[in-house]
Structure 1
Amino acid sequence: MKYRNRRQKRGQMKGSDKQPQRGGARRFTPIGKRPVTGNRWIPGLRSPTGRILPAARAAAAPTLGQIGSLEVRLARSWREIKIAQQLRYHVFYEEMSAVADAQTLATRRDSDSFDNFCDHLLVLDHDIKVKTNALGRKKPQIVGTYRLLRQEVAEMHGGFYTADEFDMQPLLDRKPDLNFMELGRSCVLKPYRNKRTMELLWHGIWAYVLMNKIDAMIGCASLEGTDPNRLALPLSFLHHNFLAPEEWRVRALGERYTEMNRIPKDELDGRAALHALPPLIKGYLRLGAMIGDGAVIDHQFGTVDALIIMPVSELNPRYVNYYGADASRHKA
């Protein structure tokens, strides 16, 4: 799942640490009309723009899992976040077909305003040390990343990015007692695109879900290409076999809605459709993911996006048992 740059134009956004009230429908407060109160800050840890890094990204962020030389944890500094942005640029813009704007080309980093308040999950390889700047010590190489946005943080900063493509509010209104989290910007360096790296990333996500009492995960998953007719087989397969039930269903925004039901179910070649799906989407489906109603064409990133919905209560028990109900399987 990935996020986009379109919200850069919103500029810096203020927030509060007030907890949303449970038991009633919660709507995102428009930017500029939100009360600002104290947040949990770590003194002295600032971004290049002067924005202070939240406590979740402090230097004390614990290791969430380890397999051999690989470690998964949250980013501990803005320098680590910048390296994750460079990794995202390499994957999205150099390997894939994303179209960079002038700022992205100049910095060679995939970044937007959401990076200022999301948590960044990292996989690091301690067997490979690299210099992060000319004068600094060598640090473990960052080889994979995911971006995590908790609902309480999203509500402080104008909402989930997914709301740019899908109408999220009806789902939030139907599930006012649940705590949602958005997944995005998933990418891994090519030599590390293997079971071990993905296992660590998902171990880190599971540990994060437990720590923050997350009830459901959402986010956009992409199929490469912008012609839905060329993607008719996988899109139709997702629609016919994994469409979320009404209580969980989210519809693509009207002006961006792209029909996924392009081939009748009885004409589908299921094996060919599975083969056409990206590995990440197949991984989500194995976990128990459901799909929203309609897809969205993202011309900037050269993809067609489907919405992934994963209630924690509906996760495949094999996944939960494998990583442990307390996320202890790969605990350091």
Structure 2
Amino acid sequence: MAIELLNRELTLDIPSTPPPSTVNGDVFGRIGSLETRLARSSREIEAAQVVRYRVFVEEMKATLSPEAMRLKRDFDSYDDICDHLLVVDNAIEGEIEDQIVGTYRLLRQEVAMANGGFYSASEFDIEPLLARHPDKQFMELGRSCVIPDYRTKRTVELLWLGNWTYSLRHGMGAMFGCASFPGVSPEEHALALSFLHHNSLVKDQWMVSAKPDLYRKMDMIPAESINPRQALSAMPPLVKGYLRLGAMIGDGAVVDQAFNTTDVLIVLPIAEISGRYINHFDVDGGRFVS
């Protein structure tokens, strides 16, 4: 019942292979005036950091380092080793700083291991998960944000097309990363968190938990007392999008005081996407073309 309801409420099609027109260069796809591609310069990375600041600090009330607050850019040491996926609206007149409307930060396992590890390891005990899958390369998704006027199905589709194409290009076996609920009180999200615990909890070889000293209980409401439709309505759109793709949720939430969020860990094996989503994007009645 819960999965059927989710499938009806959220439609998001991911191609089993990237459309041929998107595999050359750093542009992964276009829908209308929107384009998803990798950042090409330090200037574009800084512009993405400004977008992150606008969403995380000005909208979500995060508290960053004094330098980041002074410069009005969300940045840290991981920005230097990650690739930065952008959604750009080419219809906006002006410079690239005005055109970036969404972004993701992508970190491949080989790069992370050569530079001190993954960002998510500060909140979740991911080492056992990695150790159980020595044949797979993991890819961390982070710092996802879209400015308010562009929080639409098309923008989300382009972000996921970018993630998907990037993961195939680099031979990734699984994606993971933190997804956030607003605020630092998990109890305020008891319905949604309990739904995730009962319906999408990681299991078997994909088991991963919040660090013991940070662990916050998600199982706050019995399964039989949960209305799935209400639970899904209470979730951030990005979390619902992850579920629609076949993602699992790590055991336990973590409160991030600096970012004013309650975080859960998303675990998404690539095979789950390729096995369930085999249609190319359909835009205005036609197959996705660039």
TM-score by length of structure 2 reads: 0.87
1:73 aligns with 2:32: no
Give, as a single letter, the amino acid of the residue that structure 2 aligns with 1:122.
L
SS in 2 for 1:82: helix
Q: State the shift of 1:62 in Å.
A: 2.3
Match of 1:97 among 34, 41, 61: 61
The residue aligned with 1:224 is 182
User: In 2, distance between residues paired with 1:320 and 1:217?
Assistant: 18
Aligned to 1:257: 215
CA contact (8 A) 1:287 1:316 kept: no
**C-alpha distance in structure 2 between counterparts of 1:65 and 1:316, whole Å:** 18
Determine the C-alpha separation between the residues in 1 that align with 2:164 and 2:241: 14
Gaps of 5+ in 2: 1-23
Matches within 5 A, 1:135-154: 141-154=99-112
Partners of 1:316 and 1:213 lie apart in 2 by 13
2:133 maps to 1:175: yes
1:269 to 199, 202, 227: 227
Give the number of the structure whose residues are more often helix, by fraction: 2
Three-state SS of the structure 1 residue aligned to 2:40 is coil
- Identity across the alignment (%): 56
Does the alignment pair 1:83 with 2:47? Answer: yes
Q: CA deviation at 1:225?
A: 1.3
Maintained 8 Å contact 1:61/1:74: no
Structure 1 counterpart SS, 2:93: strand
Partners of 2:280 and 2:288 within 8 A in 1: no
Task: Please say which of residues 145-154 and 261-270 is displaced more in the overlay.
Answer: 261-270
For residue 129 of structure 1, what is the aligned residue in structure 2?
93
The one-letter code of the counterpart of 1:192 is Y
Separation in 1 of the partners of 2:64 and 2:202?
33
Q: Give the match for residue 13 of structure 2.
A: none
C-alpha separation between the residues in 1 aligned to 2:263 and 2:120?
A: 10
Q: Which runs of 4+ in 1 moved over 4 A?
A: none
229-238 or 215-224, which moves further after superposition? 229-238
2:124 to 166, 187, 191: 166
| AA partner of residue 291 (structure 1) | I
CA deviations over 1:233-258 (Å, ceiling 9, x no partner): 11111000000112101010011011
CA distance in 2, matches of 1:208, 1:331: 17
Distance 1:105 1:143 in 2: 20
Deviation of the 1:224 alpha carbon = 0.7
Query: How much has 1:306 moved relative to structure 2?
Result: 0.5
Is the contact made by 1:219 and 1:308 (CA closer than 8 Å) also made in structure 2? yes
CA distance in 2, matches of 1:270, 1:62: 39
- The structural deviation recorded for 1:95 is 1.1
Deviation of 1:316 (Å):
6.6
Question: Match of 1:230, SS?
Answer: helix
**Whole-angstrom distance in 2 between the partners of 1:315 and 1:61:** 23
Larger of the two Rg values belongs to structure: 1
Taking structure 1 as the reference length, the TM-score comes to 0.76
Q: Which runs of 5+ in 1 are unaligned?
A: 1-59, 133-138
Secondary structure of 2:268's counterpart equals: strand
Which one of the candidate residues 98, 115, 120 is aligned to 1:157? 115
Matching residue's letter, 1:148: L
Aligned counterpart, 1:184: 142
Within 1, Cα distance between the matches of 2:215 and 2:67?
29
